[in-house]
Structure formats: C-alpha cells, structure tokens
Chain A
Amino acid sequence: MIAVLGLVIGVMVGLVVRPVVPSGVEPYLPIAVVAALDAVFGGLRAMLDGIFDDKVFVVSFLSNVVVAALIVFLGDKLGVGSQLSTGVVVVLGIRIFSNAAAIRRHVFRA
C-alpha cells in the first residue's frame, strides 16, 4: 500500500512541480522509465509468487535503469543511439509482457 502511495505521489509531484530535468539526462529518461517499469512488473510478479525480496527489487530496479541508460548512452556515442534504444525498448517490452502474463495468471487464474 505504501508502495502504491509512493507511485501516486511521484506522479503527482511530477505533474505539479514540473521539475526541470538536466538536458544531459533527458534522452535517457524515457528508456530509464521503461526499464523501471520492467523492474516493477518483475517485482509484482515476484510478490505474487511469494518470493519477493526488497533487496533484490532495489538492485534490479537500479541496475535496470542504469544499464538501460548506459546502453543508450553508448549507442549515442557509437552513432546508433536511436536503433539501440529501439532495441532496448523492444526487449523490455517483451519482458513486461511476459511478466504481465504471469501476474494475470495469478490474479485472474487464467
């Protein structure tokens, strides 16, 4: 419950306060968000499976974000930034879908 509240408060703060993101970080924000979403879905599934561990969740969340941003940064440096970020989004999307399928099986038993 506290976790859901954290998400809601984060969205509200982001909408109300309109924080200014440093321009250097801006290109990585969308990828980081998608990676974090993947971690969250994974954590939700783990919780439903009963094997949720907050330490694992923190590490996976942060590493997801950092690695995704790193890949995009590297891609930008190599001149294939847009293609590589597309690839990252595709991979993360597939993972989100599979996690969502597992969650669905738990919640709806179908």
Chain B
Amino acid sequence: MNDEPDDEMNGQPDDGPDDGTRGAEPPMTGRRRLVAGLWPPRLSRAQLTVAVLLFGLGLGLAIQVRSTSDNSGALRGARQEDLVRILTELDNRGQRLQDEKRGLETQRSDLETSSDQAAEALKQTRQKAQELGVLAGTVPAEGPGITLTITDPHGGVEADSLLDTLQELRAAGAEAIQINGIRVVADTYFTEGTDGVQIDGHKVSQPYAFKVIGNPQDLEPALNIPGGVVQTLEKEQATADVVRSQRIVVDALRSSKQPDYARSSQ
C-alpha cells in the first residue's frame, strides 16, 4: 500500500523550491506544477494511465454513493451474517404477526357469532314484548278496526250493557280496545256508580266511544246481527254508531304491574 510520498517524507521542505535540485529553470513550485499539469491539456502516457485509473475510481465512487443513498438498496452492501440476522428477525416478526392475526381473526369470528345470536335473541324478545304489551295495554297499538259510538240521552245504558258490548267485540276478534281514553285489558271491570258507569274505577261519561282494533269485516257484523248489541242498545233508546276504519289508533296506556306472588316458572 505504499505510494511515493511516504518514501519521500523525510527531509521534505514545506514548500516547493528545492534550491536547484530540480533543474536550473525558474524554481518549480508545487503549485506551478499543478497548474502546468492541468493546463494546457497534454496527451501524455502518464496522463492517459492516470485518467484510466481515475475513471475507475469515479465509477466505483458513483456506484457506491448511488447504492448507499438508494433506499431499496439499503441491504446491498450488507454482509452475509448481517443479512442472515435481518432475515431471521424478519421471519420471527412475520411469525409473531401471523399468530397475532390468527388470534384476532378467531376473536372477531367469535364476537360476530355471539353478537349475531345476541342480536337475534334481543330482536325476538323485543317482538314478544311488543305483542304482550299490546295485550297488557302497556304499548300503543294501531291497525284496521271500527269505532263504535254509543249515545244514550236517556241514561238507559248501564254497566252490564257495556260489558256485553265488550264481550261481543272480544268474541269477534278485537285485539286492542279503548273506551273513552281507558285501555281495556284482561282485568278491566265495569261498575255502576251513583252518578254513572265507572271503568276500572274511572268515571266515564257519554257518549261512550269504543276504539277497537280487529278485522272490521268481523267486528261490524258481530255488532249488527239481529238481536245483537246494536239492537239491544236501541231497545234501551240509545243509538249505536259503527264506523269502519283502516287506521284505528289505540293509544291509551296502562302501567305494567309486577305481580306480587306469581313468578315465571321458566
């Protein structure tokens, strides 16, 4: 690895002039030699060989700089053991990520299955609650049905007549009924008070307006049959008015009561 200057290290003065050791012509300083070598360009053997070598150096320099600054080639100059280590690390990392992915996928499918089941159960329960709520009078209901208005100017209609009417409607398939804003449910009762009829303890006054949800084609004939509710009421000198409707809204509500003793056995 030795090149010339090291051999000439000793006794080398700091600057050029060597007091005639290099010829008699004007002192040839290093700087002048440099300039002379640069200009004018001379096609000498020395220049050509040096140019070829420097070409090789420039080539290697450019290649190395390019491959170092190239991001994708970051591993190009790496040694074999480094590459093996990096590869092993990448393999381990990939393995870990695969495991993690598999676990997460299992978790996801579990969650999907269970949430599907839970959602389905919730849906069915809600539906059931709605159906039962209509029966128990805790939710409003709407649908086709009839409106029955009983006007009784002479006060001849008593609680038992209203109860008969209600039973007739139930027999004809009425599903939700309210009378003057009072929801009629299974334990509804009619009483004859001193000043009129009471339903579930609430006084109702005339006219008695029944809003009934059910099949109108069943309900209306059931009321109008000969000897039926309407004729009976007319005998009491009351008028009964039946109007079919495609949309009856039964929106009177009852609060739901928790039974004190009965518990679900399921």
Asked if A58 is at the interface (CB within 8 A of a chain B CB), the reply is yes
- Which of B38, B48, B55: most chain A CB closer than 10 A? B55
Which applies to chain A's interface (DSSP): helix, strand, loop or mixed? Answer: helix
**Bound CA span A52–B54, Å:** 15
Q: B5: which of A13, A33, A99 is its contact (CB, 8 Å)? A: A99
Query: Do A57 and B41 contact each other (CB < 8 Å), given the known contacts A14-B60, A19-B59, A27-B77?
Result: no
**Can you name the residue of chain A whose Cβ is closest to the Cβ of B40?**
A1
Taking a contact as CB atoms under 8 Å apart, the answer to whether B79 and A30 are in contact is no
**Bound CA span A62–B52, Å:** 12
Asked if B156 is at the interface (CB within 8 A of a chain A CB), the reply is no
Q: A67: which of B1, B33, B40 is its contact (CB, 8 Å)? A: B1
Taking a contact as CB atoms under 8 Å apart, the answer to whether A54 and B50 are in contact is yes
**Can you name the residue of chain B whose Cβ is closest to the Cβ of A49?**
B8
**Bound CA span A7–B16, Å:** 26
**Bound CA span A21–B60, Å:** 9
**Bound CA span A92–B59, Å:** 20
Taking a contact as CB atoms under 8 Å apart, the answer to whether B30 and A106 are in contact is yes
Asked if A107 is at the interface (CB within 8 A of a chain B CB), the reply is yes
Please indicate the chain B residues that have their CB under 8 angstroms from the CB of A19 in the complex: 59, 63
Which applies to chain B's interface (DSSP): helix, strand, loop or mixed? Answer: helix
Taking a contact as CB atoms under 8 Å apart, the answer to whether B15 and A52 are in contact is no
Taking a contact as CB atoms under 8 Å apart, the answer to whether A50 and B22 are in contact is yes
Q: How many residues of B contact A (CB 8 A)?
A: 54
Please indicate the chain A residues that have their CB under 8 angstroms from the CB of B71 in the complex: none
Asked if B66 is at the interface (CB within 8 A of a chain A CB), the reply is yes
Asked if A86 is at the interface (CB within 8 A of a chain B CB), the reply is no
Query: Do A106 and B5 contact each other (CB < 8 Å), given the known contacts A14-B66, A37-B57, A54-B46?
Result: no
**Which A residues from 41 to 71 make CB contacts under 8 A with B?**
42-43, 45-54, 56-58, 60-64, 67-68
**Bound CA span A5–B51, Å:** 7
Please indicate the chain A residues that have their CB under 8 angstroms from the CB of B49 in the complex: 54, 57-58
**Bound CA span A67–B1, Å:** 7
Query: Do A105 and B15 contact each other (CB < 8 Å), given the known contacts A13-B62, A45-B5, A48-B33?
Result: yes
**Can you name the residue of chain A whose Cβ is closest to the Cβ of B28?**
A50
Contact with A along B25-58 (1 / 0, CB 8 A): 0001111011001111111011111111111111
Q: B31: which of A3, A15, A38, A107 is its contact (CB, 8 Å)? A: A107
Binding site for A on B (CB under 8 A): 1-6, 8, 12, 14-16, 18, 22, 28-31, 33-34, 37-43, 45-64, 66-68, 76-77, 79-81
Other A-B contacts than A14-B63, A54-B45, 12 sampled, CB-CB below 8 A, are: A4-B54, A5-B41, A6-B51, A10-B55, A14-B60, A26-B77, A29-B77, A33-B64, A46-B3, A47-B30, A47-B37, A50-B22
A-B pairs, 4 with minimum CB distance = A10-B58, A14-B62, A6-B51, A106-B30
